[in-house]
Amino acid sequence: MNTNLFPRVFLKSKEEKEILQGFPWVFDNEISHFKHRNDEKSEWKNEELQECSVEDGKIVEVYTKAGGFLGTGVLNKKSKITVRIFDNQHADKICENLDFYWETKILNAYKMRSNYFAKEDSYRLVFAEADLIPGFICEHFCDEQGRVFLVVQFLSLSCEIFRKQILAALQKVCKPNGIFERSDLSVREKEGLPLVSGWIGREYETKITIIENGIKLDVDLLNGQKTGYFLDQKFNRQVAAKFCKGKRVLDTFTHTGAFGLNAAMAGAKEVISVDISPEAVEIVNHNIQMNHQKKVMKAVCADVFDLLKTYEAENKKFDVIILDPPAFTKSAKMIEKAYGGYKEINLRAMRLLTEGGILITCSCSYFMESSMFCDMIMHAAMDSHKKVQILEKRGAGPDHPVLLGYPKSEYLKCVVCRVI
């Protein structure tokens, strides 16, 4: 294919800096104009974004204002993110053999994870932009019978147009028993795509049991949050467990009870796992029973904010408290309110800890940056008249790599604190 046939997107002056640093998105307000032609004999046409006749889903090349090549991406004029860049090669090189190209990308992601995970492990196989496949998520689940199930999310047009090649590559590289699609997030609607959920090909039960850190956990592929289970905290759960032997542990926003079960299996004296969702508590109770931890661990259905206040009024004390809330904000506009929410639960948790107790506090909101999160912990400590030693600052596991230049990939903060 001739590279001259691919439409070209030219940026406004000085808009290339972030892309040169690794940022993979081009926003609509960064575009100067388009340049395209129908065939080699046609004249080049210059068009602004508002009048651009290039179809959505087309592969385009991105250039600086001066004409320097930046990368190849996919156009979607329906989205504020007008181009998602997926490679720094020219488009004609990529399109020589698309099947081979996507197989290589998936294989590279698989090989990197193989340094940390075995086939019988559950982990994130593809982390969207961080793995240079914008909008595409793939979880690798292995159940207790050794069957491999992939859960996929095509969340942008930039990966949707390569659906056939990506699925074929996953089949060839991973040889899964089944592939379940969870492209049911509202972000697809912003891309002009319908919501999709269900098995691709052969169907299985949607509830499976995985083993993580030696613990059995039920995963609901159909109804579980996002892809069914939060794999990003696996190694943080192991770290938390080290502090729990013989201790009283409060595990909040527990979801499946994974943090609490790691604590119980590590020899905790007592574990209380709390979630506001009755469905989540039902799953936690089942996971407690599967792992024979009923004598040590119990699940409580309650609003964590209210329960922390109640425990404080009752003068209850814990040796270890785990705070793993959902994102309190998904936009920069709400960060001040989110800061207040994080501060309140951390302040109250500090008041419930015994002298020298351990607080494992997390945030999965990209907008709550690490420095701001630590600032919040400091102010929570001030208001609770405590001192805090930070023992570790952690993030997601290596199956969630951070792409430099793309700060959204560094979303998870997990801070291990000693409160004195």
194 occurs within a structural domain: yes
Residues 287 and 146 in one domain: no
What is the average pLDDT across 29-49? 90
Residues 390, 284: one domain? yes
Mean pLDDT of 114-132: 97
Which residue among 193, 208, 223 closes a domain?
208
Per-residue pLDDT tens digits for 139-165: 999 999 999 999 999 999 999 999 999
189 with 136, same domain?
yes
* Pair of tokens at residue 118: 């075995």
CA pair distance 194, 184, nearest whole angstrom: 8
Q: Kindly report the length of the chain.
A: 420
Q: What is the pLDDT of residue 228?
A: 85
As beta bridge partners, residue 341 has: none
| Residue 187 and residue 148 share a domain | yes
Same domain, 73 and 183: no
Residue 201, domain CATH: 3.30.750.80
Q: What is the pLDDT of residues 87-112, one digit of tens each?
A: 999 999 999 999 999 999 999 999 99
In a domain, 296, yes or no: yes
Query: Domain for residue 220, yes or no?
Result: no
Return the number of other C-beta atoms located less than 10 Å from residue 294's C-beta: 11
* Residue 340 belongs to a domain: yes
- In the three-class reduction of DSSP (H, G, I as helix; E, B as strand; rest coil), residue 216 is classed as strand
Q: What is the largest CA-CA distance in the chain?
A: 81
User: What was the pLDDT predicted at 332?
Assistant: 79
Domain boundary at 66, 94, 122, which? 94
Instruction: Tell me which amino acid residue 12 is.
Output: K
358-388 pLDDT, tens per residue?
A: 999 999 998 999 999 999 999 999 999 999 9
Q: Are residues 261 and 394 part of one domain?
A: yes
Q: Would the pLDDT of 1 be above 70? A: no
Query: Residues 185, 259: one domain?
Result: no
Express each pLDDT in 186-222 by its tens digit.
999 999 999 999 999 999 999 999 999 999 999 999 9
79: domain CATH number is: 2.30.130.10
Average pLDDT on 118-140 reads 97
Catalytic residue numbers, as ranges: 364
Q: Last residue of some domain: 94, 118, 135?
A: 94
Three-class SS state of 77? coil
Give the long-range contacts of residues 169-173, CB within 8 A, separation 24 or more. 169/99, 169/102, 169/103, 169/105, 169/106, 169/107, 170/106, 170/138, 172/103, 173/103, 173/106, 173/107, 173/110
Kindly report which listed range (303-307, 328-332, 335-339, 403-407) carries the lowest average pLDDT score.
328-332
Q: Is residue 86 part of a domain?
A: yes
Q: Is residue 224 domain-resident?
A: no
Structural domain of 148 = 98-208
Distances from the Cα of 344 to the Cα of 36, 304, 383, angstroms: 54, 11, 10
Q: How many domains does the chain have?
A: 3
pLDDT at position 242 over 80: yes
Q: Tell me, yes or no, whether 72 and 106 share the same domain.
A: no
- Whether the predicted pLDDT of 81 surpasses 50: yes
Residue 44 CB contacts under 8 Å (≥ 6 apart), including other chains: 35, 36, 37
pLDDT at 2 over 90: no
Q: Looking at the structure, tell me whether residues 268 and 388 fall in a common domain.
A: yes
Which residue, chain included where needed, has tokens 């075995």? 118
The confidence score (pLDDT) of residue 3 equals: 52
Residue 26 has pLDDT above 80, yes or no: yes
Residue 256, domain CATH: 3.40.50.150
In a domain, 33, yes or no: yes
Whether residue 125 is contained in a domain is answered as yes
369 and 238 together in one domain: yes
From CA 372, how far away is CA 370, in angstroms rounded?
Answer: 5
208: left (phi over 0), alpha (psi -120 to 50) or beta: beta
Residues 54 and 109 in one domain: no
